[in-house]
Amino acid sequence: MATAFSPSKFAAQPFPLNTTSQNNPLTIPTTASPFLGSTRKLIRLSSSSNLNLRRRSGTVVKENKSQSTPNLLITKEEGLELYEDMVLGRAFEDKCAQMYYDRKMFGFVHLYNGQEAVSTGFIKLLKQQDFIVCTYRDHVQALSKGVSARAILSELLGKATGCCRGQGGSMHIFSREHNMLGGFAFIGEGIPIGTGAAFRSKYKRKVLKEADCDHVTLAFFGDGTCNNGQFYECLNMAALWKLPIVFVVENNLWAIGMSHLRATSVPPIHKKGPAFGMPGVHVDGMDVLKVREVAKEAIGRARRAEGPTLVECETYRFRGHSLADPDKLRDPAEKAHYAARDPITALKKCLIDNSLASEADLKAIDKKIDEVVEEAVEFAEESPVPPKSQLHENVFADPKGFGIGPDGRYRCEEPKFAEGTALD
Amino acid sequence: MREALNSALDEEMSADPKVFLMGEEVGEYQGAYKISKGLLEKYGPERVLDTPITEAGFAGIGVGAAYYGLKPVVEFMTFNFSMQAIDHIINSAAKSNYMSAGQMSVPIVFRGPNGAAAGVGAQHSQCYASWYASCPGLKVLSPYSSEDARGLLKAAIRDPDPVVFLENELLYGESFPVSDEVLDSSFCLPIGKAKIERKGKDVTITAFSKMVGYALKAAEILEKEGIDAEVINLRSIRPLDRSTINASVRKTNRLITVEEGASVVEESFAYLDAPVERIAGADIPMPYAANLERMAVPQVEDIVRAAKRACYRVVPLAAAA
């Protein structure tokens, strides 16, 4: 019942289908992990590695290669790149947690531990000019896209050297250079923004006649977002206008303390794709190689102007919703189950078992990343806070937008304007 | 005014291929109020987009497209419907430039009819001027005459920041005399400057949009009774042209603000014994860095200082509010 996610299949049928097997989504095939959250009894897993193909996930492109070893999916260089990216994401997030509990970091901090395979699997396939947009859980996607650890960490500490000069914070990471479009606290909000970026790519090609503009946008968001109106509005418009976007659902089964099952009438999210005229694919989001294969197809589709795709990644966050979340509602057995499927451990095992890398290689990467993160911490801690004069900057692209003051001059030109007193 | 708006859109779209129009019924229907008449035929469906009924979605798409330099003009059939999209107008359009420290600017225009029309009911009649005027990061314009409509819409489209452009349905059909200068395609009015429609010396009346017409009529009646009113057409609600208003009030010592909704400048200058002091937060979105955050909200020392000034313990500020 495993089905392939292949472009030719979609070309033939305008209404293609989700590629997972189930006719009845609520039954659980015994070889597979329980998908549906802690209210169901866990089924004992097979002990084989994550990288054996599971029947229920859309994975490799061609059926006849389903028994091939992962060697053919990646090269050594690619494997090490993926490993390094995931370790960077994990180390960074762990450092954030440590600093938060040491009271050096403040505000809302939402960590991505456990979901690294989704970010790495997708973003490492992008070009610099492609766009990504996320919700508030955006540190790791920004790192994968190339924003430096020091810039993000400085931002989290509210320093002037942060990627947004301390004005954005954890939930609002933006980078024009790396085409990271944010960082939105409202979960549905990033989806139309990403759809707009995809619209722009198409507009540039069609109206402004920039023929080689084939930039793709990835929109990352969670299971909770899939019940929000803006999600549906954008699925409709993206399919209607055939925009080059991939909607990546990081289904970690929980929206703060609300289980996906309690919030959703039809839990399998990938099924919502075909309803709007685009393929809907489910993939095991704890396995970076599987995610990468699905991502290749989806991104390729968008680049060839064939339209959007909805990819549902089954994943899990090892920590709470945010660092302030006591995380009491999730069943410890469920957490243990997913902890055993840690994507970093799985990739490590795959690389070693298939002789793509040695323990020493991987340990060297671990050490390198530790140094990068430590250096980022030092840099951030030593950076200055924003100066008072920064208070009124960047509200408008054109600061004359503050208007004309009582004496007839533009307020932004008055010498005391930047002193930021609380008087209007 | 309809022709004024249509010609402004036409000229801006012709001058800059990055400008495009998006909204319900703007294309094949020629615009719900016929403002975009003829534009679809001239510029094609890729620049004049008929959208599904998805205000939140297409407002957000407009913001995302604007991030990297396209210039969308998003039409709301009335500004009441902008409530469906207010998340994007305020949370993404207005705040993005600040949150990203200048990396993502949003040169977008949200336009449409605002305020009461004739008998269209509560959900089609609200005036959103004060709502949007309270939002840092937005510019809010409201034309009265055709000259205003042309000049301000062109300025709004050329402006690198998000602009909320509040038209009025009942004014669409009204005609106003315009000079040749106004008809020139490079005509543009500055944002943030009000216009004195009628000079006077006894009382200042400030208004915007349709109310300017009412104020002018009132001024005529007052004149017969010996009161010489000065009527100011605000044009720009945010930023407010405080200089013109202040100069006028200093001259007349009496101020009346006319607005359909709640007052923007609430009796700040009327019946004064001492200058009214308004203590407000800094006029910006809430910054993240802890030290800036403290500066953006009033602190105890600010309140103490203001109280002392009002009690004449300290030299009063030259221009209040």
Q: What is the pLDDT of residues B143-152, one digit of tens each?
A: 999 999 999 9
For residue A369, being part of any structural domain is answered with: yes
pLDDT of A41 > 70? The answer is: no
> Residue B297's domain spans which residues?
195-312
**Measured between CA atoms, how close is B118 to chain A, in angstroms?**
32
Percent of chain B residues past pLDDT 70, beyond the cut: 76
For residue A248, being part of any structural domain is answered with: yes
A266-304 per-residue burial string, b: 16 or more CB within 10 A, e: under 16? ebbbbbbbbebbbbbbbbbbbbbbbbbbbbbbbbebbee
CATH number reported for the structural domain that contains residue A136 in this entry: 3.40.50.970
Q: Is B124 considered catalytic here?
A: yes
Q: How far apart are CA A67 and CA B311, in angstroms?
A: 86
Single out the catalytic residue among B55, B147, B167, B260.
B55
Does residue B275 belong to the interface with chain A, where contact is any CB pair within 8 Å? no
For residue A409, being part of any structural domain is answered with: no
B45-72 per-residue burial string, b: 16 or more CB within 10 A, e: under 16? eebbbebeebbbbbbbbbbbbbbbebbb
Instruction: Name the closest residue on chain A to residue B62, using Cα atoms.
Output: A196
Instruction: Name the closest residue on chain A to residue B93, using Cα atoms.
Output: A193
Largest CA distance in chain B: 67
Does residue B292 belong to the interface with chain A, where contact is any CB pair within 8 Å? yes
For residue A411, being part of any structural domain is answered with: no
Average pLDDT estimate for A347-352? 93
Strand order in the sheet with A309-314: A131-133, A217-222, A245-251, A309-314, A280-284
Provide the domain count of chain B.
Answer: 2
**Measured between CA atoms, how close is A418 to chain B, in angstroms?**
11
> Residue A317's domain spans which residues?
76-382
Q: Are B165 and B246 in the same domain?
A: no
Average pLDDT estimate for A337-355? 93
Q: Which two tokens stand for residue A305?
A: 């102007």
Cβ-Cβ pairs closer than 8 A, A with B, add up to 259
Q: Are B36 and B173 in the same domain?
A: yes
Give the closest of B98, B246, B318 to A167, CB-based.
B98
A206: chain B residues, CB-CB within 8 Å: 46
For residue B169, being part of any structural domain is answered with: yes
ipTM of this predicted structure: 0.72
Residue B249's pLDDT band (boundaries 50, 70, 90)?
Answer: confident
| Beta-bridge partners for B74 | B22, B110
Give the closest of B69, B70, B279 to A422, CB-based.
B279
- Please answer yes or no on whether B67 and A181 come within 8 Å at the CB atom: yes
- Please answer yes or no on whether A393 and B239 come within 8 Å at the CB atom: no
For residue A229, being part of any structural domain is answered with: yes
**Residues B152, B143 contacting (CB under 8 angstroms):** yes
**Measured between CA atoms, how close is B212 to chain A, in angstroms?**
21
For residue A103, being part of any structural domain is answered with: yes
Evaluated on CA atoms B171, B175, B177, B182, the torsion sign reads: positive
**Measured between CA atoms, how close is B287 to chain A, in angstroms?**
5
| Stronger pLDDT, A104 or A62, i.e. the higher one | A104
pLDDT of A22 > 60? The answer is: no
Cβ under 8 Å to A: B residues 49-78? 51-52, 54, 56-70
Beta strands at B163-167 and B139-141: parallel, antiparallel or unpaired: parallel
Look at residue A107 in the predicted model and tell me its pLDDT: 86
CATH number reported for the structural domain that contains residue B298 in this entry: 3.40.50.920
Domain boundary residue, one of B154, B183, B212: B183
Which amino acid is located at A156 in the chain?
Answer: L
Provide the domain count of chain A.
Answer: 1
Q: Are B151 and B269 in the same domain?
A: no
For residue B81, being part of any structural domain is answered with: yes
Q: Is B88 considered catalytic here?
A: no
Alpha-carbon Rg for chain B, nearest whole angstrom, is 21
Residue A56's pLDDT band (boundaries 50, 70, 90)?
Answer: very low
Instruction: Name the closest residue on chain B to residue A106, using Cα atoms.
Output: B290
Evaluated on CA atoms A236, A220, A32, A66, the torsion sign reads: positive
A410: chain B residues, CB-CB within 8 Å: 192
Q: Are B219 and B288 in the same domain?
A: yes
Q: Which two tokens stand for residue A100?
A: 């938060």
Q: Are B111 and B258 in the same domain?
A: no
Q: Which of B100, B243, B276 to mutate to test the interface with A (most CBs of A within 10 A)?
A: B100
DSSP per-residue letters across A129-164? TSEEE--S--HHHHHHHT--HHHHHHHHTT-TTSTT
Q: Which of A131, A193, A231, A237 to mutate to test the interface with B (most CBs of B within 10 A)?
A: A193
Residue A29's pLDDT band (boundaries 50, 70, 90)?
Answer: very low
For residue B320, being part of any structural domain is answered with: no
- Please answer yes or no on whether A192 and B302 come within 8 Å at the CB atom: no
Give the closest of A189, A203, A423 to B302, CB-based.
A423
Average pLDDT estimate for B284-308? 59
Single out the catalytic residue among B3, B25, B124, B223.
B124
For residue A352, being part of any structural domain is answered with: yes
Q: Are B80 and B137 in the same domain?
A: yes
Nearest CA among A291, A135, A310, A330 for reference residue A222: A135
Q: For A194-214, how does the pLDDT look when each residue is reduced to its tens digit (9 = 90+)?
A: 999 999 999 998 888 887 788
- Choose from A234-248, B215-229, B302-316 the range with maximum mean pLDDT: A234-248
Q: Are B138 and B225 in the same domain?
A: no
- Please answer yes or no on whether A196 and B66 come within 8 Å at the CB atom: yes
Q: Are B27 and B85 in the same domain?
A: yes
- Choose from A350-364, A408-422, B273-287 the range with maximum mean pLDDT: A350-364
Q: Which helix (H) or strand (E) holds B65?
A: helix B55-67
Give the closest of A158, A159, A395 to B137, CB-based.
A395
Could you give the 3-state DSSP secondary structure of residue B316? coil
CATH number reported for the structural domain that contains residue B123 in this entry: 3.40.50.970
Q: How far apart are CA A193 and CA A215, in angstroms?
A: 15
Q: Are B50 and B94 in the same domain?
A: yes
For residue B318, being part of any structural domain is answered with: no
Of A44-53, A140-149, A332-341, B114-123, the poorest mean pLDDT is in A44-53
Residue A311's pLDDT band (boundaries 50, 70, 90)?
Answer: very high
- Please answer yes or no on whether B282 and A420 come within 8 Å at the CB atom: yes
Q: Are B232 and B301 in the same domain?
A: yes
Domain boundary residue, one of B183, B208, B243: B183
For residue B319, being part of any structural domain is answered with: no
For residue B91, being part of any structural domain is answered with: yes
B92: chain A residues, CB-CB within 8 Å: 184, 189, 193
Q: For B72-90, how does the pLDDT look when each residue is reduced to its tens digit (9 = 90+)?
A: 999 998 888 888 899 899 9
pTM across the whole model: 0.78
